[in-house]
């Protein structure tokens, strides 16, 4: 039986619902809904434990705001006695087109403040990340507005498909391991 900490990054508050920056929360919501769980507010996060195929997923949505996500990740890793290879952080990524997902065993924060916070607290960038491509279709100087903006109506069907595929990817991460899952999903171009 494997136990995993699955962390979705996002900001708390209704004004952030449905924004590109909150896709980590949306993926976790879909995972938890699929497996019949309900989040409850705990220390530094909304948390739920779900069981699936002899695996346990401790699903965490930090309530610290994205920029302080490291505090919640470290707290829940310690509480659940989990090592870095059993942690997966789901995050939005400007550098990837909307058609892509990318799973990595490590890698830089790429300017993402949530990943930067986790890296500082853990003292390493070698922890698994699922990067959800959001594209970078914004005018110069408008990055924050784009990231904190809501999805365009035309993007939503593809976003929903990728959220569903992200849930499958997380399940594969637990059952098949990171290498096999990377080989299966990183090459895919998602279209409708």
Q: Is 112 a catalytic residue?
A: no
Inter-residue contact 147 to 92 (CB < 8 Å) = yes
Per the residue annotation, which of 21, 35, 55, 112 is the catalytic one? Answer: 21
CA distance 3 to 180: 18
DSSP assignment of 40-61: EEETTEEEEEEEETTEEEEEEE
Nearest to 23 by CA among 122, 134, 137, 127: 134
CA distance 51 to 120: 30
Looking only at Cα atoms, what is the longest distance across the chain? 48
Which residues are tagged catalytic?
21
């Amino acid at each position: 039986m494997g136990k995993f900490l699955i962390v979705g990054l996002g900001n708390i508050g209704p004004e952030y619902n449905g924004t590109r920056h909150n896709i980590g929360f949306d993926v976790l919501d879909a995972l938890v809904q699929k497996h019949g769980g309900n989040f409850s507010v705990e220390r530094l996060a909304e948390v739920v434990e779900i069981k699936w195929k002899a695996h346990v997923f401790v699903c965490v949505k930090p309530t610290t705001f994205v920029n302080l996500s490291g505090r919640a990740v470290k707290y829940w890793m310690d509480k659940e006695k989990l090592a870095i290879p059993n942690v997966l952080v789901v995050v939005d990524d400007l550098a990837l087109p909307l058609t892509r997902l990318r799973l990595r065993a490590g890698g830089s924060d790429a300017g993402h403040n949530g990943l930067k916070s986790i890296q500082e607290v853990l003292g390493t960038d070698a922890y698994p990340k699922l990067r959800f491509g959001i594209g970078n279709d914004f005018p110069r100087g408008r990055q924050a507005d784009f990231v904190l903006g809501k999805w365009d109506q035309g993007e939503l069907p593809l976003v929903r498909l990728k959220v569903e595929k992200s849930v499958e990817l997380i399940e594969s991460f637990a059952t098949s391991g990171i290498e096999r899952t990377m080989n299966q999903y990183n090459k895919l171009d998602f279209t409708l």
